Structure 1
Amino acid sequence: MSDRLLADWRQHALTLESEVNKVVVGQSNPIRLITTAIFARGHVLLEGDVGVGKTTLLRAFTRGIGGGYQRIEGTIDLMPNDLVYHTYLGEDGKPHVSAGPLLMSGENLSVFFFNEINRARPQVHSLLLRVMAERTLSAFNKEHAFPHMIVFADRNQVEKEETFEIPSAARDRFMMEIPIVVPNDDAIMQGLMFDTKFHNVDALVDTLKADVLQFDQLNSFSGTIQNSVEASPTLQKYALNLWKATRQPLDYGVKVSNVDMNRLVLAGASPRGMSMMLRAARVNAWLNERTAVTPEDIHAVFHETVAHRLVFSPVYEMRRTEIAREMLTSIINAVAAP
């Protein structure tokens, strides 16, 4: 029964991917990683410039999995309660309160997108992190639950004025950080500029097949994947060595150009981070019709699940993206795979 179930859902997952690929072109790798996060039930940081299609991507996925989609823009004056409720003056001249973005879809909230999260103050981050961890919120003398919600957040990487960098403990709550870059393909770039279908996001998303998956069944099916895909003792030893190499890179001969490796790493990947990496690797194995995790499955998600968790000395923080990429590539090359 389980094999049949795994195969049926895999077919739906691949259909979902092909639907999203129709409207967000040239992003097949990020789409695979987001699909992986959805089935691993992990929150996601998106990394990329303005206008590369992050909103379209998330709206397309929400149409495919069903449930409610809500978003909020990070601003310097955003307060925690702005996530929960809006106040306004009614026609009767009296103040009224209506549900904010977190509460608007109720229990059916499926995708919550926090745009430019680093523009919001730390108090806002802390409320969001609590909701991400507990998937509940107390408001209006009532407990609200968001059992199916995945949070996606993107950081404004360009402007540094009036931004509050997300601390490492907060970054650790996100299963992945996925880069979204402009496709480096002339035909695709030309299409994005001149093909008018890409200029109206609402109409574009409406062309997709709706409810390919049932968002409210993903939690239980995710458990089925995790219980069905094995990790052999040799693979476990390999994953352990990768983890140790993020903490003590010099012990494994890992080097990064123009960096003092003795001073680079303040903290390697966390236990939570490595367990999330394994969750994502199991999903990758399932999507590729494997019943056990291979080193290839770990490599497919290693950078996206680990890079944002590394804590570097302040002197290297400005270059963290490129240093993390080089260091993790070096770890994959240095640690012998079974």
Structure 2
Amino acid sequence: MSATTACTPATFEQTFERIRTQMARVVIGQEELVFGLLVAALAGGHVLVEGAPGLGKTLVARAFARVSGASFKRVQFTPDLMPSDITGSSIHDRRASDAGAAFTFVPGPIFCQLLLADEINRAPAKTQSALLEAMQDRQVTVDGTSRPLPAPFIVVATQNPVESQGTYPLPEAQLDRFLVKLTVADPPREVEHRIVRSHALGFDPTDLSALETVTTPTELLSMYALASSVRVDESIIAYVVELARKTREDRAIELGASPRASIAMMKAAQVVAASAGRSFVTPDDVKPMAKAVLRHRIMLHPDAELQGITADERIDDILRALPVPRAVNPEASAAEGQATA
């Protein structure tokens, strides 16, 4: 799909698959991680990736930047990281002072299209909050001046679920800004064997020049627009809303998902449908991303946590108990209506 070609369900499906195929060349055995990142990015959202060190969290972000042609910056979050280290700051310019402009704004690394916030939970709350405006409004305000960020703007943040010393848990308000939370588990034995073999054959994770750039940021925006136009039937909207509301009624859940979660599930389902070349959403498009959208937005009761219950298990139980609406194909319905007329 070129920059001058309009995005259609067919071209969306083809480009989505080409991106996924290219990324799979270096991100081995992490199909769910790659799929989830692509869905979130094309839904206009941000991604939180949780997993132990050495599982490819950083690599998947770098690979997506390479394949999509997006400008990329990485920030290593540390306890001494200041907000200005991310957003940028105004510095005194001696030469400019003669012309009446004594301060010049120097943009920080956040002025890119794909920002990797590595180990985001190691930075203090003040620095984490510097991302809130950027993630929500796609702009940063420094010295009273708001500056727009490049489009698209996607934050991929990583965190380690094991270490607690020297970390600052993300507040609920910031967690809610992430469209999905993806978890990365240890690979099976055969997948780990493939990974080690690729390194034995000379694979260098710092050099991704062999990956083909199959799209552009402009095309990503066209794909986002196409996904946003995918039709969502009233029965699907009711299903999504009920799914979110059930998390607020579940006895094991102390804090359920907000309406923002319902919107996120709908947007993710639209991308899943478009990736299959369809112009309408079915219930099966909602289910694959439900846990990724909901798991970081719910808080379990302490009693449930003591029993070893996890957020994913509760979401699975809700999905199984919730009646699934009958899939509606609006194209077939329209054709049937014309035939009847």
Place the TM-score, normalised by the shorter chain, in its bin: 0.7 to 0.9
2:217 equivalent to 1:207: no
Residue 191 of structure 1: CA displacement? 2.5
Q: Which has the higher helix share?
A: 1
SS in 1 for 2:182: strand
Aligned residues of 1:282 and 1:293 also touching (Cα < 8 A): yes
Aligned residues of 1:168 and 1:311 also touching (Cα < 8 A): no
Residue 3 of structure 1: CA displacement? 9.0
| Bigger CA radius of gyration | 2
Aligned residues of 2:12 and 2:274 also touching (Cα < 8 A): no
What residue in structure 1 maps to residue 330 of structure 2?
none
Residue 34 of structure 1: CA displacement? 1.0
Aligned residues of 1:235 and 1:294 also touching (Cα < 8 A): yes
Residue 329 of structure 1: CA displacement? 0.5
**Residue type of the alignment partner of 1:310:** I
Residue 112 of structure 1: CA displacement? 0.3
SS in 1 for 2:8: helix
What residue in structure 2 maps to residue 101 of structure 1?
109
1:301-312 equivalence runs, <5 A:
301-312=289-300
Residue 221 of structure 1: CA displacement? 3.4
TM-score under structure 1 length normalisation: 0.83
1:185-224 equivalence runs, <5 A:
185-186=189-190, 188-196=191-199, 197=201, 199-203=203-207, 205-210=208-213, 212-224=214-226
Pick one of 269, 278, 281 that aligns with 2:269: 281
1:82-101 equivalence runs, <5 A:
82-85=85-88, 99-101=107-109
Show CA shifts across 1:235-261 (max 9, x none).
222222212211112xxxxxxxxxxx3
Show CA shifts across 1:273-292 (max 9, x none).
11011000011011112222
2:324 equivalent to 1:323: no
Give, in whole Å, the separation in 2 of the partners of 1:4 and 1:86: 38
What residue in structure 2 maps to residue 120 of structure 1?
123
Residue 319 of structure 1: CA displacement? 8.4
What residue in structure 2 maps to residue 295 of structure 1?
283
2:156 equivalent to 1:168: no
**Residue type of the alignment partner of 1:273:** A
Structure 2, gaps ≥5 residues long: 92-103, 326-341
SS in 2 for 1:281: helix
2:139 equivalent to 1:136: yes
Structure 1 residues 334, 72: closer, same or farther in 2, change over 3 A? Answer: same
Aligned residues of 2:44 and 2:154 also touching (Cα < 8 A): yes
More displaced stretch, 177-186 vs 279-288:
177-186
1:258-273 equivalence runs, <5 A:
261=251, 264-273=252-261
Structure 1 residues 170, 319: closer, same or farther in 2, change over 3 A? Answer: farther
What residue in structure 2 maps to residue 12 of structure 1?
15
2:213 equivalent to 1:231: no
TM-score under structure 2 length normalisation: 0.83
Q: Give RMSD over aligned pairs.
A: 2.5
Show CA shifts across 1:290-311 (max 9, x none).
2221111111110000111012
Give, in whole Å, the separation in 2 of the partners of 1:127 and 1:115: 15
**Residue type of the alignment partner of 1:307:** R
**Residue type of the alignment partner of 1:218:** L
Pick one of 141, 149, 156 that aligns with 1:152: 156
Structure 1 residues 175, 318: closer, same or farther in 2, change over 3 A? Answer: farther
Residue 74 of structure 1: CA displacement? 1.4
Give, in whole Å, the separation in 1 of the partners of 2:259 and 2:202: 42
Structure 1 residues 97, 282: closer, same or farther in 2, change over 3 A? Answer: closer
Give, in whole Å, the separation in 1 of the partners of 2:274 and 2:318: 25
Residue 73 of structure 1: CA displacement? 1.1
Q: How many residues align?
A: 307
**Residue type of the alignment partner of 2:269:** A
What residue in structure 1 maps to residue 334 of structure 2?
none
Structure 1 residues 224, 4: closer, same or farther in 2, change over 3 A? Answer: closer
Residue 120 of structure 1: CA displacement? 0.4
Show CA shifts across 1:217-237 (max 9, x none).
43343122222x222232222
